[in-house]
Chain A
Amino acid sequence: MSDVKSLNSIVVRLAGDSGDGVQLMGSQFIASTALSGKDFATFPDYPAEIRAPVGTTFGVSAYQMNIGEAPITTAGDAPDVLVAFNPAALKVSLPMIKSGALVIVNNDSFTARNLTKAGFDEDPRETGELDSYQLVSVDIGRLNLEAVKQFGLSKSDGGLCKNFWALGLLMWMFDRDLAPIEDWIRAKFAKTNVVRDANVTALHSGHAYGETAELSEAIPRFDVKTADLPSGDYRGITGAEALALGLAAAGELARRPVLFCSYPITPASPLLHRLARLDDLGVGTFQAEDEIASICAAIGASYGGVIGVTSSSGPGIALKTEAIGLAISAELPLVIVNAQRGGPSTGLPTKTEQSDLYLAVYGRNADAPIPVIAARSAGDSFFAAIEAVRIALRHMTPVMLLSDGYLSNAAEPWRIPNMDEIEPIVTNAVPQPDDTGNVQGLAFDRNPETHGRPWMSPGMVGLMHRLGGIEKDIDTGHISYDADNHQRMTDMRAAKVDSVANFIPPQTMELGADEGELLVVGWGSTYGAIYQAVQQIRKTDAVVSYLHLRHLSPLPRNLGELVNNFKRILVPEMNMGQLSTLLRDKLGVDPTPYCKVTGQPFLISELVEKIRSMLPPMVVSGGGHASKGESR
């Protein structure tokens, strides 16, 4: 019997061919992790090809998870455990994993052909290359086939069960209950008894192997500490799920249906898939013929009195740009969800990036501002969606909600919010038709605080009016090419977006005081990594503070004052410095950008190193830092 290691947290990475079922295995393991009361964060890392050539390094699909005590906010820097289904998965993962990590490999895949495809000249199991790791070689393929032999499946069909076999072994290592996964398999494969039974058998067989195997290297077991999370009811959630539920919740809060119009694109499609199953929550979905049609249909829906929402990723958002201008001009509410990915052009469809901030804030023809907000974590996407709809309806404007590939797919435990505690969303009152016949003017009778006009829709008696993308007279709403009027309308559109800042709470610090030596400013999905890094540094250097922006346009009113309370500002971003530019533009400050565009999220360690380099040298003995006169 092997030892049980007690740990605060552990990083596990599963890697294999894109057809090995690694994503499924990971998500099922995480479901069980959630039920066992651990905090967690995940990072599905998969190739753009659906089934890349078998055995190649570029076809490796991986699922990394960090589990343990709260707060776990990233999928972890370096894995402690690697499960590699083939040599290519081992090759790709080796540079990431910790020295001394447990490496479980599937022996059967280490054929000469697979080794060559992975770029190994020799078998790394024999060259000593893996000496610094704890290697456990298991005949996963063979043992799985033996286990499912009884079901009469072909060799290839039987082989498909090996992810459940490996999952069974992992479940044993972490002392997890198999029942919830068994239930899931039974529900998922209810229609094909053979597949259902084979997968259940594989799962049990892997588990039994761990229990009974007499290996020279005993397989270690782990006892990971349960999280100390705030009390409440929890569930696991991905960014796409949270965003979908948030949009449905916004509809409920506004007492309006939601029509989600989209066109498939990686990594935004999971949102469409989730919403397509939420029709009982008053959500309709329409898969349009292209990106432009999808935003135009959403605008048509908003025109019809339904909350129109569209989504895409960078290339698709670019195509939607002209229609965003129409929604601005027609003063219609609209939410545009942008699940950012690496670019330009097709770029890195499955890899994450934050490089559409310029596009969101500045990227339209003419003076065409819109409010821009960003989600910071999977669960936070729920609240970000509600906020986006709230702004869109209050100010009658399109709003861009920035998410990214990492957030869409990442999962975390989430405290289920109480819907009764969320403020209802109020829409602008519709006027009574008057006798003067001045409906056109009523349609553009804007609220002086929000510049939002009444949401008048076809079907309403006596309120027939005409809308369009041609400039309108600011008062009468009729077409106007008048020069002064265009200036006033442009000013109004700017004032409208600016007025959003009057409705958002003042910016607060995530960590640290409101003044000090160094301020780290983040936005979007980098939240988890920055939070951990700053917290780590603050144990010795309390002069670092951290704030994280929800609202990118307009910025919170007090932001300028806050950032000026610090000597230096560091802005880590998964782009080439776009928030730095925005802060320079809007606040006149000069932040130091810290940029990473590798398609991978920030590691906590690299952020720690960067933040340290921005701090005055520490006095070695005292653990304090040099006096204020120090400059860099």
Chain B
Amino acid sequence: MSAILSAKDFTTAQEVRWCPGCGDYAILKTMTNILAEVGARPESTAFISGIGCSSRFPYYVNTYGFHTIHGRAPAVATGLKLANPDLDVWVVTGDGDGLSIGGNHLMHAIRRNVGLKILLFNNEIYGLTKGQYSPTSRRGTRTPSSPGGSVDIPLSPALVAFGSGARFVARAIDTDKTGLGEVLKAVHAFDGAAFTEIFQNCIVYNEDVFAEFTDRKNATDMQLRVRHGEPMLFGADNEKGIRFNSDNFSLEIIDAASAPEQVLRHDEKSKVIAQMLVELTAPVALGVIYRNPGDSFEKYWYAARESGLKRTAKVADALRSTNTWTVT
């Protein structure tokens, strides 16, 4: 049963029903490639989703899949992971599903460090319900439900994850095969809740909302790809670097050539720097920003139960494990 599988083996015969040009296609393709590359077993892999465009994902991956209800995928996935901790359980959610109606479950799955591979497709809009503003939409976003521009202040998915105690926070762009592929491989290998925000382009309701940093022409100047142990450099010739300013506790851009010793090296275990990185808007930090493994929830949960979920005693005996008396 350990035949080498290809991306095609992870693809279902279902007709994909996302809008033509949707960023989800690119994510799906990279995902199936990576599943094959890391040697995932279809029978041991499950994709759990909520409701929204992103949540159609399980129908198109030839593994186990469960398209649940709005916002609740992390809760369903937690039950599945407890029932069978050997499974690779992926949660596919979006900015509305994961941060609005399902914010509570996302927060608690991360807090508990349940071994879930959480992919949050952020397109800053409600796509499936035809374009209303979401909890990540920028203030002033004009939509059918906010014709004069939204007044809500958006939240940062990565900061929500940090606030919930995340031990793995990564970011990637939907169409960036290499960057997303690297992140997905790291997610696959991580034991615990792995939170990844994927910037996903909704071509119908919020086209190019991330173009400022995703467009090819802006990419080198606007994307900071972090790798553990490597200096934080960006720009066409890596001429710019990130420095920590200890006067005001901020990250700032410097000329890397003139002061190479001042350029920060990425330490994926540094939570403080990681939280500063996700707040940068120019450039935008991508890759595995924070990775600091700790025992997963299911590991603790099983360790706390001598017998796991195995039956080591008989109900017939348990019924008598109290004062009993006999009537003749």
B265 lies within 8 A of chain A by Cβ:
no
B266 lies within 8 A of chain A by Cβ:
no
Against A, the Cβ 8 Å flags (1 = close, 0 = not) of B82-106 are 1110110000000000000000110
The residue among B1, B69, B312, B320 with the most chain A CB atoms within 10 A of its own CB is B69
Is the Cβ of B319 less than 8 Å from the Cβ of A290?
no
- Given A235-B319, A459-B43, check contact A468 B325 (CB 8 Å): no
Q: Which residues of B sit under 8 angstroms from A37, Cβ to Cβ?
A: 325, 327
B315 lies within 8 A of chain A by Cβ:
yes
Is the Cβ of A236 less than 8 Å from the Cβ of B322?
yes
- Flag the segment in B58-66, B174-182, B245-253 that touches A: B58-66
Q: Which residues of B sit under 8 angstroms from A290, Cβ to Cβ?
A: 104
A299 to B44, CA, bound (A): 18
Main secondary structure of the interface of B (DSSP, over half): mixed
- Given A466-B66, A468-B68, check contact A233 B315 (CB 8 Å): no
Q: Which residues of A sit under 8 angstroms from B87, Cβ to Cβ?
A: 304, 458-459
A469 to B305, CA, bound (A): 33
Is the Cβ of A459 less than 8 Å from the Cβ of B44?
yes
**A434-472: which have CB < 8 Å to B?**
457-470
A489 lies within 8 A of chain B by Cβ:
no
Nearest CB in chain A to that of B43: its residue: A461
A232 to B325, CA, bound (A): 8
Please, how many residues of chain A have a CB less than 8 angstroms from a CB on the other chain? 74
A355 to B279, CA, bound (A): 51
Per a CB cutoff under 8 Å, which of A248, A280, A304, A466 touches B58? A466
Per a CB cutoff under 8 Å, which of A229, A297, A325 touches B78? A297
Q: Which residues of A sit under 8 angstroms from B75, Cβ to Cβ?
A: 288-289, 292-294, 296-297, 300
Against B, the Cβ 8 Å flags (1 = close, 0 = not) of A274-299 are 00001111101010111011101111
Q: Which residues of B sit under 8 angstroms from A464, Cβ to Cβ?
A: 42-43, 62-65
Per a CB cutoff under 8 Å, which of B14, B83, B324 touches A306? B83
A36 CB to nearest B CB, Å: 9
Q: Which residues of B sit under 8 angstroms from A229, Cβ to Cβ?
A: 327
**B266-320: which have CB < 8 Å to A?**
301, 305-307, 309-316, 318-320
Is the Cβ of A459 less than 8 Å from the Cβ of B86?
yes
The residue among A180, A303, A305 with the most chain B CB atoms within 10 A of its own CB is A303
B273 CB to nearest A CB, Å: 30
A457 to B80, CA, bound (A): 10
Nearest CB in chain B to that of A248: its residue: B315
A180 to B87, CA, bound (A): 49
Q: Which residues of B sit under 8 angstroms from A35, Cβ to Cβ?
A: 323, 325
A7 lies within 8 A of chain B by Cβ:
no
The residue among B83, B105, B312 with the most chain A CB atoms within 10 A of its own CB is B83
Closest 6 CB pairs of A and B: A300-B79, A304-B83, A468-B67, A297-B79, A282-B311, A296-B75
* Residues in B lying within 8 Å of A, measured CB to CB: 1, 12, 14, 42-46, 48, 58-59, 62-69, 72, 75-84, 86-87, 104-105, 107-108, 301, 305-307, 309-316, 318-320, 322-328
